[in-house]
A and B are shown apart, each in its own frame.
Chain A
Amino acid sequence: MQSVRDYNFGAGYDEMFESPGVPREHCRAVFEALCSLTPADIAEARQRADVAFVNLGITFTLYHEAEATERIFPFDLVPRVIAGREWERVERGLKQRVLALNAFLQDVYNEGRIVAAGRIPAEAIYSSPNYRPEMRGFTPPNGAWIHISGIDLVRDADGTIYILEDNVRTPSGVSYVLQNRSISTRVLPRLFDQSGVVPVQDYANRLHAAVRSCFEPGPAVVLTPGMYNSAYFEHSFLAKQMGVQLVEGRDLAVRGGRVVMRTTRGPIQVGAIYRRIDDDFLDPINFHADSQLGVAGLFDVYRAGGTCLVNSVGTGVADDKSVYPFVPEMIRFYLNEEPILANVPTFRTADEREREHVLAHLRDLVVKPANASGGYGVVIGPASDERRLAETAQAIRENPAGFVGQPLIRLSTCPTLIEGSFQPRRVDLRPFVIFDGREPWVLPGGLTRVALKEGSFIVNSSQGGGSKDTWVLN
């Protein structure tokens, strides 16, 4: 068993240590507390946490194997700690970004000013499969398009925080933030004693208030694809935390221009719908005809103002990877401000000059499909062989609009318990932002995902990632 004192993180940026053996100022208390734990304490806490996760059924489901399997999202006991001052800046940056993205959506489905002003090429927006022509001329209640967003941040080796991607459709992961906190306070109470960690439990209240406020008549509901969806745990968790019904498409119907749910006392009107179903599957009449998950006619009721969907339909165009490079421009255009948080430099292969650059530097870059999530299809140049690079080059030439290239960010590390010893593992951070049309609210911290494989850069749960409790200190 190796103590946290002997932790060695090599050359990159570590979230807890300035240099080996020297904790960062804001991590000193946590470091001391970790030093005071014996190997037996740690093993016991590990054991208790594992049992708690299994018994609470905090699982996600994996589908790309032969059959669906229920997995625990691995939880690492060592928290990721963020200094209050740094967080204050991140929070401002996130609010700014959400306001700009929201303004962008209102604009591209209405006047189209940003295109007219020549700040974003029209094809980047209108050729995106995530642009929904059905939404043209529509303004959602309170002007809120993006009620809930999860914006992924990474830190490079020099300490700079970058926005890696925006998730403004149905981002998931917030339930793990809340559960991780409740379990780490339970199994490692001593770590909390002296730390001054900002609580996270207000999330459900904020969420409920934001959802309710956009359509008052009738109770709000959470719409899930059902218990076989990989994020079903989160859907039921949030419904329960908010005290609202968790419904499936088959529980809902459209009657007389309203959405009703089928109850043991007959149909009852519902209010706002926090839907965790993708646009494509919402309504078999208006979108994918073969969807079993949606509600026939739901979109028509929505457009006519008979309900509110959270998030709005069509938000995917704002987090499309080919639109991402223009977000700093959006901030300048709509808010008249300079971006507080930087984008990762991104090359759009749809643009001929940028494409040539990407093709010439494939072995140094990360190539991502423009329209996918979950870490699927990402090619990390420095870690790929010649054949993979050649295939990638071919794929880019065949479908130039389908990819973007970015330099490899040397993700910061965090001490992580691997088989009883503290080892450096790479982390990212997904903070969550709630927006009711007036003022964005940022959940303190967010979900820290950690790549449990040594040297790995991929933190996604579907690909061997785990999570950590994230502490913002006040």
Chain B
Amino acid sequence: MALLSRVAESLYWMGRYVERAENTARLLDVTYHARLEPGTVEVAGATNTWEALIMTLGLARRYGELHSEFTEHGVVDFLTVSRENSSSIVSSLVSARENARGCRDQLSSETWVAINRLHHGTAGRNYHLIMADGLYDFCDSIRQGAQAFHGTAENTSLHDEGWYWLRTGVLIERADMVTRIVDSKYHLLMAWPEEVGGPLDRYQWGAMLRSVSGYEAFRRKQQGGIEGPDVVGFMLLDRQFPRSLRACVDGLCETLDSATEGAEERLRNPAMRQVTGLQSRLQFETQESLIGAGLHESLFQTQETLASIGQAVSEAFFWAAFSAA
């Protein structure tokens, strides 16, 4: 059955918002708990960790409009429950649910229940309630809820076109986020050359891996120590780790191919050309070549490409497509 353009767009954004909520929860959890380790604040402290987190998420301007200082209270509130931050966990889940409501007839009942649970579990919260139970519990419930959503969606939905649009949204968001995490942490850590190779340095790289659930996976693949370049290589290029950039882009390639199968070439090609281009580029990179050529430049370019894929998809298949057709 043909899919409405509006519904395809809603599914795509629902996927993105759930993924955004989960990534924010992961980053927040790791940042908060890394901070509790003695000494780390001072080490990374030229930029305070809270500021670094806001920069990673690309939310510095919005945060600055609402707060003058980067405090724990301010940042945790801003990223969890603030309705004034449209990317906060609560705002993302509200948006995910609004999109889900708009295409509710396309979701399996269980998928709808999963997204509703996520929303109801967070909507009534405030900063003090969250901290009273512990930030870990809150972040954990978002992670679990998001995983329940992905699992339920995968195992109870038809794997038809709508499913592929949902996955496209998830994968674009996930790929974008991993580039942001690597970019910001890499520069934060490299700014303190005297610490490189020391215990605090190792601790920070470990925290970064944990923020994408990659710590144990990394240890299994790298029998040696935790070296910055190896971590970067793992998070960007590992084929087997499901949250690495390469795995996300491989997945995106496949899922976008399925979502647009049978569509006219002129609609399909712009997005497919870019995603396959990105995929083949990553195929022939190594951690040395990435870092050697300037990691920041390369990651920035990847973010631009991902945004441009999103744009191409939207112009060809979503709502805007029809003013032209």
| A57-B325 in contact (CB<8A) | no
Closest residue to A57 on the B side, CB-wise?
B116
Inter-chain contacts of B262 with A (CB < 8 A)? 265
Please give the distance in Å from A180's CB to the nearest CB on chain B: 16
| B1-A245 in contact (CB<8A) | yes
Query: In the complex, A237 Cα to B106 Cα: how many Å?
Result: 10
Chain A residues within 8 Å of B, Cβ to Cβ: 54-57, 219, 222, 226-227, 232-233, 236-237, 239-240, 245-248, 250-251, 253, 261-268
Query: In the complex, A250 Cα to B161 Cα: how many Å?
Result: 21
Bitwise, B97-140 to A at CB < 8 A (1) or not (0) is 01001101100010011001100100000000000000000000
Known: A250-B6, A251-B6. 15 other contacts (CB 8 A): A55-B116, A55-B120, A56-B109, A227-B102, A236-B105, A240-B109, A246-B105, A248-B6, A261-B4, A262-B321, A263-B2, A264-B263, A264-B317, A265-B2, A265-B262
| A263-B101 in contact (CB<8A) | no
Please give the distance in Å from B165's CB to the nearest CB on chain A: 8
Most chain A Cβ neighbours within 10 Å, of B105, B120, B260:
B105
Chain B residues within 8 Å of A, Cβ to Cβ: 1-6, 8, 98, 101-102, 104-105, 109, 112-113, 116-117, 120, 161, 259-260, 262-264, 317-318, 321-322, 325
Q: Which 7 A-B pairs have the closest CB atoms?
A: A263-B2, A239-B105, A236-B104, A246-B105, A236-B105, A240-B105, A264-B317
Please give the distance in Å from A293's CB to the nearest CB on chain B: 14
| A263-B105 in contact (CB<8A) | no
| B2-A57 in contact (CB<8A) | no
Inter-chain contacts of B8 with A (CB < 8 A)? 264
Query: In the complex, A247 Cα to B307 Cα: how many Å?
Result: 29
| B117-A55 in contact (CB<8A) | yes
Closest residue to B114 on the A side, CB-wise?
A55
Supposing A56-B109, A227-B102, A262-B322 touch, asked if A268 and B116 sit within 8 A by C-beta, the answer is no
| A263-B113 in contact (CB<8A) | no
Closest residue to B119 on the A side, CB-wise?
A57
Please give the distance in Å from B55's CB to the nearest CB on chain A: 35
Inter-chain contacts of B102 with A (CB < 8 A)? 226-227
Query: In the complex, A240 Cα to B108 Cα: how many Å?
Result: 9
Mostly, the A contact residues are mixed
22 contacts between A and B (CB under 8 A): A54-B120, A55-B116, A56-B116, A57-B116, A222-B105, A226-B102, A227-B98, A227-B104, A232-B101, A236-B104, A236-B105, A237-B105, A239-B105, A240-B104, A240-B105, A245-B1, A246-B104, A246-B105, A262-B5, A263-B5, A266-B264, A266-B325
Closest residue to B107 on the A side, CB-wise?
A240
Query: In the complex, A455 Cα to B319 Cα: how many Å?
Result: 51
Closest residue to A261 on the B side, CB-wise?
B4
Please give the distance in Å from A217's CB to the nearest CB on chain B: 15
| B4-A57 in contact (CB<8A) | no
Closest residue to B6 on the A side, CB-wise?
A251
Inter-chain contacts of A246 with B (CB < 8 A)? 104-105
Closest residue to B102 on the A side, CB-wise?
A227
| A263-B3 in contact (CB<8A) | yes
Inter-chain contacts of A232 with B (CB < 8 A)? 101
Closest residue to B8 on the A side, CB-wise?
A264
Most chain A Cβ neighbours within 10 Å, of B1, B98, B104, B322:
B104
| A264-B116 in contact (CB<8A) | no
Supposing A54-B116, A55-B117, A245-B105 touch, asked if A263 and B4 sit within 8 A by C-beta, the answer is yes
| A56-B317 in contact (CB<8A) | no
| A264-B161 in contact (CB<8A) | yes
Most chain A Cβ neighbours within 10 Å, of B4, B5, B321:
B4
Query: In the complex, A268 Cα to B2 Cα: how many Å?
Result: 8
Closest residue to A245 on the B side, CB-wise?
B4
Query: In the complex, A240 Cα to B6 Cα: how many Å?
Result: 17
Query: In the complex, A343 Cα to B104 Cα: how many Å?
Result: 40
Inter-chain contacts of B5 with A (CB < 8 A)? 251, 262-264
Query: In the complex, A250 Cα to B105 Cα: how many Å?
Result: 17
Please give the distance in Å from B317's CB to the nearest CB on chain A: 4
Query: In the complex, A57 Cα to B102 Cα: how many Å?
Result: 13
| A56-B112 in contact (CB<8A) | yes
Query: In the complex, A67 Cα to B109 Cα: how many Å?
Result: 28
Closest residue to A267 on the B side, CB-wise?
B325
Query: In the complex, A263 Cα to B104 Cα: how many Å?
Result: 17
Closest residue to A54 on the B side, CB-wise?
B120
Query: In the complex, A57 Cα to B115 Cα: how many Å?
Result: 10
Inter-chain contacts of B263 with A (CB < 8 A)? 264-265
Closest residue to A238 on the B side, CB-wise?
B105
Inter-chain contacts of B105 with A (CB < 8 A)? 222, 236-237, 239-240, 245-246
Closest residue to B261 on the A side, CB-wise?
A265
| B109-A264 in contact (CB<8A) | no
| B4-A247 in contact (CB<8A) | yes
Closest residue to B100 on the A side, CB-wise?
A57
Inter-chain contacts of B264 with A (CB < 8 A)? 266
Query: In the complex, A330 Cα to B325 Cα: how many Å?
Result: 50
Inter-chain contacts of B104 with A (CB < 8 A)? 57, 227, 233, 236, 240, 246
